[in-house]
Chains A and B, each alone.
Chain A
Amino acid sequence: MNENRMRYKKNQQMIVVVLLLTLLTYLSSVITDFNILHGLATLPEAFIWIFSNLVITDESLERMPTILDKLLETILMSIAATTTATILSLFLGVMGSKSVGTSKGLGILARFIASLSRNIPVVAWALILLLSFGQNSLTGYLALFVGSVGFLTRAFIEVIDESSQSAVEALQATGATYIQIIMKAVIPECLPQMISWILFMIETNIRNATLVGILTGTGIGYTFDLYYKTLNYHGVALVTVSIVVAVILIELLSNHVRKVIL
């Protein structure tokens, strides 16, 4: 094709994409009643408000023990949800992988379970579980658990499929049983990658735990919600800062582990 014509066609495509995006933006702002200019105009005001009201005072520092207690609960909840989800995901991951999976039917089943638990929003799980489990640490834990299973299974399937097949073949040649192959070749081969995903999941879960906490009335999310609704903005500031510190510390720690093992 002639170069000029190609360029012309490319430009035309570009224009169509840009027009389409502009139209969609306009439509969405009409539907959601969002005014970009107004939104941007409130931004400086919002920041001024944040810096003048969201300050930590001595009075709010007195609540520190309660907040730390709840923060610890949230962190433990996220870790427990991730590690227990890992056990289930490991089975589902092996089942669903193309290279070491046992049968096609089981593979599809594993992928289906993963897709379902990943795509039903955490909010839905939290709300359903709240109805029967009540305002309880276990509710938050289970909501996080379900989401983690979906995500980790998908990650594990990819990791297993990507890891080198030579070890599996070598073991097969020696007449190793299926369990032996999984335990001695697949898992050791994929372990660093898997740990990396587990750490990532813990980080994600700590962030999600706040959301789940607001919905189910558990952990740090509940504390935040309580201060928020009673207009105790100094409390809100303290909770936010402690979450930020916790998240950053855990991220640094897991980045360090990742650097060593990968």
Chain B
Amino acid sequence: MQATTHIKRRSDGRISIKSGNQVQLVMQLTILLLTVLTIIAFLFFDYTGLDIQQAIQETAYNLRVMFLEPALSHFGWGEAFYQVSITLGLAFLSTILGAILSFFLALTAATNLTNEWITKIVRVFLAFIRAVPTVLWVLIFAIAAGLGSEAAVLGMLFHSIAYLVKAYSEAFEEVDKGIIEALRATGAGWWHIVVHAILPSTFTYLMSWTFLRFEINFAVAVAMGAAAGAGGIGFEMFMASSFYFDLREVGMITYMILVLAIVLEIISTLLKNRYFPASMKN
């Protein structure tokens, strides 16, 4: 916080004793604004056809059926595992392709490796990609390239790249300037610097960011299956709830996703604790 590091003076030279004012003011304004908007939101909502008491009772009942009596009825265990592996496959493909493409893009997005203009162009471009929700990318690609794994992977790839390039380029920028300068002094070319300085010193970071993205991509792949018909366990879940109204099956699928998600989270926490020093938090 800047307020505590130096003495602030007012225009007439007196020491301002309320030096933290701007920070306080902005925080208070933010909280006030959010509170007001929340109240407006509840007034603005469309409540047509809602019986809140009944809805809560029904939800409680549904949740009980889902979580306490899970069962598969429309497909067997073999099929279920196959569908889960499709979801994992979609997540894996978009992560690995994303990682490869992101590595090269991140080289152009890191300020210490390329000139300012290219960096800016790449960043604006990525900001645009990020602003379009993943599901819209998938659906747009689905009309353009036909529905299937291609549309799903391409759509998910876009967001993986936007996320990974940011993470990678930040890691590249933290590489010690001295190393790069020393290599440059020996007459090393750009690629030499990348291969012998940048890559070895950031490799473990890159790996753990990539795994973090894989974890996210798994959740995204489930969602894409349900919302964009990209297949996999998400699609089965969508069918079970919206077509068959089979809550037991939804429950079973939820458990499967839950177990996998928790396993992935544990692995990524282990990786994070091992490779990320305390200073580098997302």
Contact digits for A86-125, partner B, Cβ 8 Å, 1 yes 0 no = 0000000000000000000000000000011001111110
Q: Which residues of B contact A76 (CB under 8 A)?
A: 37, 40-41, 44-45
Question: Out of A121, A130, A192, A207, which one reaches B133, CB within 8 Å?
Answer: A207
Asked if residues A46 and B154 are in contact (CB atoms below 8 Å), the reply is yes
Min C-beta distance of A81 to chain B, whole Å: 9
Q: Which residues of B contact A38 (CB under 8 A)?
A: 150
Chain B facing A: main interface SS = helix
- Which chain A residues numbered 180 to 237 have a C-beta less than 8 Å away from chain B? 191-192, 195, 198-199, 207-208, 210-211, 214-215, 218, 221, 224, 228, 233, 236
Asked if residues B23 and A192 are in contact (CB atoms below 8 Å), the reply is yes
CA distance A123 to B250 in the complex (A): 11
Min C-beta distance of B212 to chain A, whole Å: 14
CA distance A27 to B231 in the complex (A): 17
- Which chain B residues numbered 45 to 91 have a C-beta less than 8 Å away from chain A? 45-50, 54-56, 58-59, 61-63, 66, 82, 85-86, 88-90
Is B114 in contact with chain A by the CB < 8 A criterion?
Answer: no
How many residue pairs between the two chains, A and B, have CB atoms under 8 Å in the bound complex? Answer: 226
Q: Which residues of A contact B227 (CB under 8 A)?
A: 123, 211, 214-215
CA distance A248 to B86 in the complex (A): 33
Binding site for A on B (CB under 8 A): 1, 22-23, 26-27, 30-31, 34-35, 37-38, 40-42, 44-50, 54-56, 58-59, 61-63, 66, 82, 85-86, 88-90, 92-93, 96-97, 127-128, 130-136, 139-141, 143-146, 148-150, 153-154, 219, 222-223, 226-227, 231-232, 234, 237-238, 241-242, 245, 247, 250, 253-254, 257-258, 261-262, 265, 281
Q: List 28 contacting pairs A-B, 8 Å CB cutoff, sorted by A.
A: A24-B92, A25-B93, A28-B93, A29-B89, A31-B86, A32-B232, A50-B144, A72-B44, A77-B41, A83-B37, A83-B38, A84-B38, A127-B238, A127-B242, A128-B63, A132-B54, A132-B55, A132-B62, A138-B47, A207-B133, A211-B227, A228-B139, A243-B132, A248-B127, A260-B22, A260-B23, A261-B23, A261-B27
